[in-house]
C-alpha cells in the first residue's frame, strides 16, 4: 500500500548523465526537511538540478512517471512540483546514510509534500549498503536497486537509506505537492 515501483524509468546512460549534471552543480552538504543539518541523521552530498535548463528532460521524465503512477495507483490530489530535483551522493568514506524519516516536514513547502519519487542512479554492483528501505507499517520493504529503477511512495511514510559500506550510491529524488489530505 502507498508504494509503487517503476522499473527502468531511466536508462543506464541517462542515469549516468543525471550524475554528470549533478557534478556540474556546486555540491553542498545535505540538509534535512526544514533546513536542519544533523549529520547523525543524514550524511550525503546534495546537488539541486536546474529543472528548467539542462535538466529539463529529467523533470519531464519524472513528471510523466509520477502522473502515470498517480493515475494507476495512488489517486492522490496532486497539483504541482514545488521543489527542484535532488541528486544525493552517499559515500563510503563517511558511511553515507539517511536515518528513518518522513518527507513531510514543518517547512512552508515540505508540509505539502504528497508523493516522493526516488530513482537509483548507480550500478548496483558498484556499491554495498545504501539500501532504500520503506516502512509502510510493520515490515520493511527494500526498494529495487537496479540502475534507473524508480520507487514512489506516500511522502508521509517512514523510510531510510542504510549506510554505504563500499563505493558511492547516487539517487535522484523529487517531491510533488497538493492540498492537505482529507
Ligand atoms: O536517497 C534516497 O534513496 C532517499 C532520499 C530521501 O529520502 C530524501 O531525500 O528525503
Ligand atoms: Fe526522504
Q: Residue 96: which residues within 8 A CB-CB, separation 6 or more?
A: 43, 44, 89, 90, 130, 161, 163, 164, 168, 169
In this prediction, residue 31 carries a pLDDT of 52
Helix, strand or coil, per DSSP, at residue 1: coil
Q: What is the pLDDT of residue 33?
A: 53
Domains and CATH numbers, the chain: 3-30+43-177 (2.60.120.620)
Which stretches of the chain drop beneath a pLDDT of 70? 26-39
Residue 55's pLDDT is 96
pLDDT in tens, 57-86: 999 999 999 999 999 999 999 999 999 999
Q: In this predicted structure, what is the pLDDT of residue 146? A: 98
In eight-state DSSP terms, residue 112 is G
Give residues (CB < 6 A) around ligand 1.
86, 88, 98, 103, 118, 132, 159, 161, 171, 173
Determine the distance separating the centroid of ligand 2 and the alpha carbon of 57, expressed in angstroms.
23
Q: Supply the pLDDT for residue 138.
A: 86
The residue nearest atom 3 of ligand 1, judged by CA position, is 132
Centroid of ligand 2 to alpha carbon of 135 (angstroms): 12
pLDDT score recorded for residue 35: 46
**DSSP string covering 75-103:** -----B--S-EEEEEEEGGGT-EEEEE-S
Ligand 1 atom nearest to CA at 159: 7
The atom of ligand 1 lying closest to the CA of 171 is: 1
Residue with cell 542504510: 162
Single pTM value for the model? 0.94
Name the residue with the closest Cα to ligand 1, atom 10.
103
Q: Is 106 left (phi over 0), alpha (psi -120 to 50) or beta?
A: alpha
Interface confidence (ipTM) of the complex: 0.99
Amino acid at each position: 500500500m502507498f508504494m509503487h515501483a517503476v522499473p527502468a524509468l531511466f536508462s543506464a546512460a541517462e542515469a549516468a548523465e543525471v550524475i554528470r549534471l549533478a557534478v556540474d552543480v556546486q555540491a553542498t552538504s545535505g540538509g534535512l526537511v526544514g533546513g536542519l543539518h544533523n549529520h547523525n541523521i543524514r550524511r550525503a552530498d546534495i546537488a539541486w538540478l536546474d529543472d528548467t535548463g539542462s535538466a529539463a528532460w529529467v523533470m519531464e521524465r519524472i513528471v510523466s512517471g509520477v502522473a502515470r503512477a498517480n493515475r494507476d495507483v495512488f489517486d492522490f490530489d496532486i497539483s504541482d512540483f514545488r521543489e527542484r530535483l535532488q541528486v544525493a551522493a552517499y559515500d563510503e568514506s563517511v558511511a553515507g546514510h539517511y536515518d528513518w524519516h518522513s518527507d513531510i516536514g514543518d517547512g512552508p513547502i515540505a508540509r505539502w509534500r504528497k508523493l516522493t519519487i526516488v530513482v537509483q542512479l548507480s550500478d548496483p554492483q558498484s556499491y554495498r549498503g545504501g539500501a532504500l528501505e520503506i516502512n509502510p507499517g510493520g515490515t520493511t520493504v527494500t526498494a529495487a536497486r537496479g540502475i534507473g529503477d524508480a520507487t514512489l511512495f506516500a511522502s508521509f511514510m517512514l523510510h531510510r537509506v542504510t549506510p554505504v559500506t563500499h563505493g558511492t550510491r547516487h539517487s535522484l529524488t523529487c517531491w510533488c505537492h497538493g492540498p492537505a489530505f482529507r
